[in-house]
């Protein structure tokens, strides 16, 4: 049986399917990923902007980077692939999504069971006292109304721990899954890159580029997220 036919068989027969997505899920919405040739980290050293050190010692650089990402995001919308995953959840083909993306597009497309393992760029807080804030206040570089601290998006930065509840829920889902579908991630970043090794189920890697990190997967489908999901949708 060819890879696609095998995938469709697994998808239809699986009792609990978990989808894990990365930045490659949103590049067809116009949002750059990180490590591809056109990715964010090709021109910016992530450790200079996406870390707590940057937030605390180079706030102007940190603010400029995340403001730029926010402005770019305003022009972008979930693509058909996001909506297909929402349809698959509605029809019972997938149980839940765990994402490293902070764009909120899985929820915006209609998925109800989404774990945002790297947080969200759509909500904001004071870095010192955790008081909630707003996108407008962050963009305007205001300080916290409660304590005067600096404002930040609720993105998990390098060196920070992941949201504990999201991680715990995701780990349970992955361990119980009989199919884990990984879409559009380089599997470069710990600890999310460990998740596919923690399931007893079958593992499928859908990615635009070949990736040695995925050598252990049961099935590898090379292709773009939106196009591949659209093709699969015609077979359901």
Which letter does DSSP use for residue 145 in this model? Answer: T
Residue 95 known to be catalytic: no
Three-state DSSP class for 224?
Answer: coil
Contacting ligand APR within 4-43 (CB under 6 A): 22-24, 27-28, 33-36, 39
Q: Which residues in the chain belong to E strands, given as ranges?
A: 17-21, 96-99, 114-116, 119-126, 132-133, 151-155, 179-183, 202-207, 219-222
What string marks each residue from 99 to 128 as x (binds ligand APR by CB under 6 A) or -?
A: -x-----------------x----------
Contact 163, 191 (CB under 8 A): no
Beta bridge partners of 152: 125
Q: Is 76 annotated as a binding residue?
A: no
Residue with Cβ nearer ligand NAD (104 or 110): 104
Contacting ligand APR within 42-71 (CB under 6 A): 46, 50
User: CB of residue 66 vs ligand APR: minimum separation in angstroms?
Assistant: 12
User: 32 contacts which partner out of ligand APR, ligand NAD, none, CB within 5 to 8 A by kind?
Assistant: none
Give just the sign of the alpha carbon dihedral 6, 10, 11, 12. positive
Judging by DSSP bridges, how do beta strands 119-126 and 151-155 pair with one another?
antiparallel
C-beta neighbour count of 100 within 10 angstroms: 23
Out of 218, 224, 230, 233, the only residue in the binding site for ligand APR (CB under 6 A) is 224
DSSP 189-200: STTGGGGGGG-S
User: 196 contacts which partner out of ligand NAD, ligand APR, none, CB within 5 to 8 A by kind?
Assistant: none
Which residues have a catalytic role annotated? 118
Tell me which residues touch ligand NAD (CB under 6 A): 34, 41, 46-47, 50, 118, 156, 158-162, 188-192
Known binding-site residues equal 126, 129, 144, 147
Tell me which residues touch ligand APR (CB under 6 A): 22-24, 27-28, 33-36, 39, 46, 50, 100, 118, 184-186, 188-189, 207-209, 211, 224-225
């Amino acid at each position: 049986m060819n890879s696609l036919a095998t995938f469709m068989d697994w998808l239809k027969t699986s009792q609990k399917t978990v989808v894990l997505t990365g930045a490659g899920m949103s590049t067809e919405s116009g949002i750059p990923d990180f490590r591809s040739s056109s990715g964010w980290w090709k021109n910016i050293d992530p450790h200079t902007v996406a870390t707590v050190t940057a937030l605390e010692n180079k706030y102007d650089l940190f603010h400029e980077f995340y403001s730029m990402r926010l402005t770019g995001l305003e022009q972008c919308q979930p693509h058909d692939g996001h909506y297909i995953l929402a349809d698959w959840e509605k029809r019972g083909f997938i149980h839940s999504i765990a994402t490293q993306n902070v764009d909120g597009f899985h929820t915006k497309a209609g998925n109800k069971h989404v774990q945002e393992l790297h947080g969200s760029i759509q909500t904001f807080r004071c870095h010192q006292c955790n008081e909630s804030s707003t996108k407008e206040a962050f963009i305007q570089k205001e300080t916290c109304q409660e304590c005067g601290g600096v404002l930040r998006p609720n993105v998990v930065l390098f060196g920070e721990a992941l949201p504990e509840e999201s991680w715990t829920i995701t780990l349970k889902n992955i361990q119980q899954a009989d199919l884990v579908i990984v879409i559009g991630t380089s599997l470069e970043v710990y600890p999310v890159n460990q998740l596919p090794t923690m399931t007893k189920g079958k593992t499928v890697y859908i990615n635009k580029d070949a990736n040695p990190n995925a050598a252990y997967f049961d099935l590898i489908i090379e292709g773009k997220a939106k196009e591949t999901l659209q093709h699969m949708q015609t077979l359901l």
